[in-house]
Structure 1
Amino acid sequence: MKTRTVYETRLVPHTVGGRTRLVPEEVAIELPAPPRDWDRTILAGVTGIAVLVLAACVVWSTASVGGLLSRVVVAPAAYGAAIVFDLAWIACMAVEWLARYDPDRARLPRKAGHVALVVAMLAVGADGWLAGYPQIGIVGAAVSGLAKGLWTVVLRHQTPPLDARTREFLRQELAEAGAALALIPVQRQVQRAHGLVAAERAALPAAPDAPDADPDQSGHDDDAPDDATEPPDGPPMTVKDAVRTALDSGLNDPERVLAYVRKRADANAKPATVERYIRLAKLAG
């Protein structure tokens, strides 16, 4: 029986000068070696072969289609566009693999990959036909088909089979997670909209909700502090903005304006600063 050596660290007693302590010591243990997983080895080898075939296919297709396109454009642009023909169906094949647990989502990239593959094969065949070697064009086009077919077999082998109920369960799980993920940008937009509304309300004076019950304002005194109402609360503001808001709301008494400024803007606002802003606001008004 084949064995393998495993090293473990254990605490062993060690006595020095009559005192015993537990010290770590590395111990070698011989364990039976597991049998070789030939399925895993063969699958790794097949995957490596598929990678080599795909690389050769990309090189061949790019050279062939690049030669076809270089008849009308400069070579760098021609070969840069030629590689797109193979990258398109390779990308579609990768997306199909990512959606392997959802047949409905995998159907679109599968069809798109087949279309891109046919276009790439036609381009390679056209290059051989224009060069006067249609047989070489057909064989060259078959290279892309063989690479695509090999990768389809490899990926299909690694895709676990799922029954209908399990597929539906996974679909609902993904749908629930997707809904939670989609709510994140929506909530950001809602919060941003609420913030804009709050900023707009803070920047503009509030309009009266209803007309005054007493339309006769001939006896109204703007300087009477008892008739003025304190503005509603809102977001924080500067001392200057708080003074302007208080005056616009009918607060003309410097003491009440100072109290409002200390409540909304700066709790340590000085009376002289507030009185200066009151004078400037009245002069500007």
Structure 2
Amino acid sequence: MKTRTVQRTRLVPHTIDGKTEMVLERYEEQVPVPPRDWDRTILAAVTAAAGLLLVICIGWTTASVGGLLDRVVHPVPAYGAALAFDLAWMMCMALEWLARYDTRRAALPRKAGHAALLMAMVAVAVHGHLEGALVVGLIGATVSAIVKGIWTVVLRHHAKPLDDKTQQWVDRQRADAGGQLAMVAVRRELARARALVAAEEAALRTAPDTVPDRPDTDPEQPTDRPETPEPVPALTTAGPMTVRDAVRNAADSGITDPDAVLRYVRTVADANAKEETVTRYLRAFRRSA
């Protein structure tokens, strides 16, 4: 059995002048070396070689399809579009790899990858036909098919399909996590909608001040207020009323006491209406009368 030397550390007591402290001591230990996992090594080598074939396949298909599209468009967009032919089925193959534990989810990217591969092979064969070398075009088309076939075998080897009960459990867990993730966006949307509704209601409840404050004294405003405030008449209103509308109704109904007007506004319009705002509207209506 093969062994290898490993350096380890441990705490040991060390005494100087009668004072003991725990210090680290380094020592070597021989541990057995596990046998090489040849299965894992071979699988890693095959996967790396398949990756190299992908690079070769992209270069071949891009050169062939790019030469085909170069006949009618500029070479830069032509070869850029040609790159998409192989990248399409390679991306589908990557999605198939991500779904290697779920056979049903892997079925769609597998079918889409086969369709994209077929289009790439047709494009390469057409290019060979137009160049007068149909045989070369057909052989070149098989390059993508060979690489795709190899990767299909590699993916099948890496795939670990789950049994039916385990798959159902995974689906339920995935659905619960997806629902929680969706609720994050839903809660954000609801919070934004509630904020907009609150802002709209606040705007409808209190109109913006359009009459600026003026320092001058209104000669029509009484200087001596009666000790007993005027009663507020029962005014009928239809629908929600703003502070400005409530002050106008009170003034039109003959209410002259500012305190009575304020009580009326707070009753029919806004319970938090400010006294200075009501007084300013009242002065403005008196001047315009």
TM class by shorter chain equals 0.7 to 0.9
Which residue does 1:27 correspond to in 2?
27
Gaps of 5+ in 2: 207-228, 236-241, 251-256
- Higher alpha-carbon Rg: 2
Contact 1:99 1:105 in 2 (8 A): yes
Instruction: After TM superposition, give the deviation of residue 246 of structure 1 in Å.
Output: 9.0
Change (3 A) 1:247 1:158: farther
Whole-angstrom distance in 2 between the partners of 1:249 and 1:202 = 21
Change (3 A) 1:281 1:12: same
Instruction: After TM superposition, give the deviation of residue 43 of structure 1 in Å.
Output: 0.9
Whole-angstrom distance in 1 between the partners of 2:230 and 2:70 = 87
Whole-angstrom distance in 1 between the partners of 2:246 and 2:98 = 62
Q: Give the alignment's Cα RMSD to 1 decimal.
A: 3.1
Which residue does 1:100 correspond to in 2?
100
Instruction: After TM superposition, give the deviation of residue 279 of structure 1 in Å.
Output: 4.1
Which residue does 1:199 correspond to in 2?
199
Instruction: After TM superposition, give the deviation of residue 253 of structure 1 in Å.
Output: 2.2
**3-state SS in 1 of match to 2:205:** coil
TM-score normalized with structure 2 length: 0.75
Whole-angstrom distance in 2 between the partners of 1:175 and 1:148 = 32
Change (3 A) 1:18 1:256: farther
Aligned residues: 245
**3-state SS in 2 of match to 1:120:** helix
Which residue does 1:253 correspond to in 2?
259
Letter matched to residue 144 of structure 2: S
TM-score normalized with structure 1 length: 0.76
Which residue does 2:179 correspond to in 1?
179
**3-state SS in 1 of match to 2:35:** coil
- More displaced stretch, 7-16 vs 73-82: 7-16
Change (3 A) 1:246 1:12: farther
Whole-angstrom distance in 1 between the partners of 2:143 and 2:16 = 75
Contact 1:128 1:134 in 2 (8 A): yes
Gaps of 5+ in 1: 207-221, 229-241
Which residue does 2:117 correspond to in 1?
117
Matches for 1:98-247 after TM superposition, within 5 Å:
98-205=98-205, 224=231
Contact 1:124 1:140 in 2 (8 A): yes
Letter matched to residue 94 of structure 1: A
Which residue does 2:57 correspond to in 1?
57
Q: Deviations over 1:71-123 (max 9, x none)?
A: 11111111000000011111111112222233332222111111100000000
Instruction: After TM superposition, give the deviation of residue 134 of structure 1 in Å.
Output: 0.9
Contact 2:85 2:119 in 1 (8 A): yes
